[in-house]
Amino acid sequence: MSDVLVFSAYGGPEVLHVVDLDPGTPGPQQIRVRVHAAGIQPFDCLFRSGAARQWVPATFPQRIGNELAGVVEAVGAEVTTVAVGDHVLGWAMLAGAAAHVIVAADQVVARPAGMPWLEAGALSASGQTASTALDRLGVRAGETLLIHAAAGGVGSFAVQLARALGAHVIGTASERNHDYLRSLGATPVRYGDGLIDRIRAAAPHGVDAALIGVGADEAVRTSRELVARPQRIGTLGFHPLAAQLGIARISTERSIARLTALVTQYTEGSLKVEIERAYPLAEAAAAHHRMETGHVRGKLVFQVS
């Protein structure tokens, strides 16, 4: 049997609980992974609360989690790219927070030697979301990109990926995270009254594109005022005001090629994975409470084994 994090009704973090389920047998093109770490995303909280039910309805009891890292325990009859005993990281939609996960073999890549399990478990979903966002926004060398909630999971990756492209990055964050953003290569600005003036001072030649990693109206309105074309603004949340202003929601386009590129940047030293804290599955409610307070630096992650 295997520990699995689920919720049986929409609600606050307290609805999360661990159940014991059969780990299952992989199908012909699937593998079973013994999970060591599984990242936690803001989307997990939206999904659990029911705020995303219009787009992603739950089926109770509902599993949760979208990224993982672990050791392959079993492979399907048609799998040739992965072997038992391989160390992998990847994504598993609405299933990652568990001791065992069955996933398609083409949704994992090899974990680099020396990459800690916690970092491996926290890279796939948020890293690919950041990569997708920069592609969708068409960020290029020499441009200025504004990232709201830049110190968070997706924001931290987006800062680094944009800097690697040669873009100048301005990141909004609480003041306690300003030194952290500077270490990633971004120019930090604080939230609150006067935000637009502070951004303009940091970007005297203007802002070419913006990525909104939080749902606050301030971030949406600020981005729309500073960026000439709404097509070059993207939001990661389900935000009514953004839709009214012609700002598109960016969904992650996951692929082995995209994840492999991220892992390559990690091994080359141009991409870091910041872990604020790890939690056991049994403390999932505390982890979601922390996520919902905002201002998480980098990633929260479940340490499963």
Provide the 10 A C-beta neighbour count for residue 216.
Answer: 17
- pLDDT at residue number 215: 67
Q: What is the pLDDT of residue 244?
A: 87
Q: CB–CB of 212/152 below 8 Å?
A: no
Structural domains in the chain? 2-123+273-303 (3.90.180.10), 126-249 (3.40.50.720)
Q: Report the pLDDT value the prediction gives residue 239, as an integer from 0 to 100.
A: 78
Residue 24 has pLDDT above 80, yes or no: yes
Q: Considering only 15-19, 21-25, 95-99, 293-297, which range has the smallest mean pLDDT?
A: 293-297
Confidence band for 242, pLDDT divided at 50, 70 and 90: confident
Nearest to 33 by CA among 5, 74, 92: 74
- Per-residue pLDDT at 137: 98
What is the overall mean pLDDT for the chain? 96
Residue 272: Cβ within 10 Å count: 15
Q: How far apart are CA 239 and CA 74, in angstroms?
A: 41
Q: What are phi and psi of 119, to 5 degrees?
A: -70, -40
pLDDT, residue 294, reads 82
- What whole-number distance in Å separates Cα of residue 115 and Cα of residue 108? 15
pLDDT tens-digit map of 246-295: 898 999 999 999 999 999 999 999 999 999 999 999 999 999 999 998 88
Residues 6+ apart with CB under 8 A from 264: none
pLDDT digits over 159-208, tens only? 999 999 999 999 999 999 999 999 999 999 998 889 999 999 999 999 99
Contact predicate 49/16, CB 8 Å: no
State yes or no: pLDDT of 13 exceeds 90.
Answer: yes
Cβ-contact 288, 40 below 8 angstroms: yes
Say how far apart CA 297 and CA 277 lie, in whole Å.
Answer: 9
| CA 81 – CA 283 distance, rounded (Å) | 35
The answer to which of 20-24, 46-50, 233-237 has the lowest mean pLDDT is 233-237
Nearest to 98 by CA among 3, 1, 7: 3
Strand partners, 39: 301
- Phi first, then psi, for residue 16 (nearest 5°) are -75, 140
Q: Contact, 33 vs 72, CB < 8 A?
A: yes
Cβ(206)–Cβ(226) under 8 Å?
yes
Q: In this model, does residue 125 exceed pLDDT 80?
A: yes
Looking at residue 98, the DSSP 8-state letter turns out to be B
For residue 6, give the nearest of 305, 301, 284, 295 by alpha carbon.
284
Half-sphere exposure of 158 (CA within 13 A, CB side): 37
Please report which confidence band the pLDDT of residue 1 belongs to, taking 50, 70 and 90 as the band edges: confident
Q: How many CB atoms lie within 10 A of CB 299?
A: 29
CB 30 within 8 A of CB 103: yes
Report the alpha-carbon distance of residue 62 to residue 8 in Å, rounded: 6
Angstrom distance (rounded) from CA 187 to CA 173: 10
Q: What is the CA radius of gyration of the chain?
A: 19
Which pLDDT value is given to residue 161? 98
Portion of the chain with pLDDT greater than 90, in percent? 90
